Structure 1
Amino acid sequence: MEIKVSKGQGKLQHVIEIGEHKLLTDVSAALGGEDTGAEPHDLLAAALGACTALTVTMYAQRKQMDLQDIDVRIEHSQQEDVYVFKRRIRYVGNLTEAEQARLTEIAGRCPVHRTLMGQMRIDTETVTG
């Protein structure tokens, strides 16, 4: 799937198009923007949170666990030379400690988590015209 990012309205706003979906990205006024959308690192953290919730929910359904809801919170910040994501997961439902531990293990296997923890390469091509 190709994702398109193009200039939006205002100083730094951009529109992100993912298929039929559109999101706005911007930065705070302190960074020269107008805060009309999520900052890029927030979108990355949101992807981790969403992937975690979806992966854990699908696993719990397949294993017929009584997971009624999941609340995933991601805090993120630059800490010296490392960018840190702190993930907090709260499970709602009638789950044993062993089931909760297994779900937390599965959270570490969500595709976005694995991508962020693995090797990545970004190939950039400049297109003129």
Structure 2
Amino acid sequence: MSGVVVSADRSSGMVATVKMGNQVNLIDESGAITGEDTGPTPMDYIMSALGSCTVITLHMYAQRKNWPLERAEVTLEQRTLSTTESALAAGDKRTLISKTLQLTGDLTAEQIARLKDISSRCPIQKTLEAGVVVQTTLI
């Protein structure tokens, strides 16, 4: 299990402190949700995890194949699907993350198609698509 510790106290408002190993980061909500916008939102962290995992996976694969991938860029957008879009019962919500790839390099059409396929195999995307079980323990 990875050692991520997140804490917040009454005086911090919507700001949470995230400790990951030797690194400390802040998470906040936008002013629209009564945060102060002093850091990325929790959803920003999920989206950045997916995006960074995607580009790293693409570069690792291209390097193994000795393909000329110079740059991989991923643009991510997230929205909640309506009940009719997701074919779920009323009140159930699903999130759609749209992922747009931009690949730069002297790549063939076949290489580009393969990289698109590989982009969906990064560990973070696999985890999100499989669903996550969260077990909470109170101490």
| CA–CA distance in structure 2, aligned partners of residues 14 and 120 of structure 1 | 22
1:38 partner amino acid: P
- 1:7 equivalent in structure 2: 8
Gaps in structure 2 of 5+ consecutive residues: 83-92
- 1:54 equivalent in structure 2: 56
Q: What's the offset of the Cα at 1:30?
A: 1.5
- 2:88 equivalent in structure 1: none
- 1:104 equivalent in structure 2: 116
- 1:72 equivalent in structure 2: 74
- 1:84 equivalent in structure 2: 96
Contact 1:70/1:90 (<8 A) preserved: yes
Contact 1:10/1:34 (<8 A) preserved: no
Q: What's the offset of the Cα at 1:17?
A: 1.0
1:52 partner amino acid: T
| CA–CA distance in structure 2, aligned partners of residues 75 and 91 of structure 1 | 18
| CA–CA distance in structure 1, aligned partners of residues 34 and 137 of structure 2 | 27
- 1:118 equivalent in structure 2: 130
Q: Percent identity?
A: 33
- 2:28 equivalent in structure 1: 26
Q: What's the offset of the Cα at 1:119?
A: 3.4
Q: Which runs of 4+ in 1 moved over 3 A?
A: none
Question: 18, 43, 46: which is aligned to 1:44?
Answer: 46
Q: Scaled by the length of structure 1, what TM-score is found?
A: 0.93
| CA–CA distance in structure 2, aligned partners of residues 75 and 57 of structure 1 | 22
- 2:85 equivalent in structure 1: none
- 2:90 equivalent in structure 1: none
Q: RMSD between aligned alpha carbons?
A: 1.3
Q: What's the offset of the Cα at 1:20?
A: 1.4
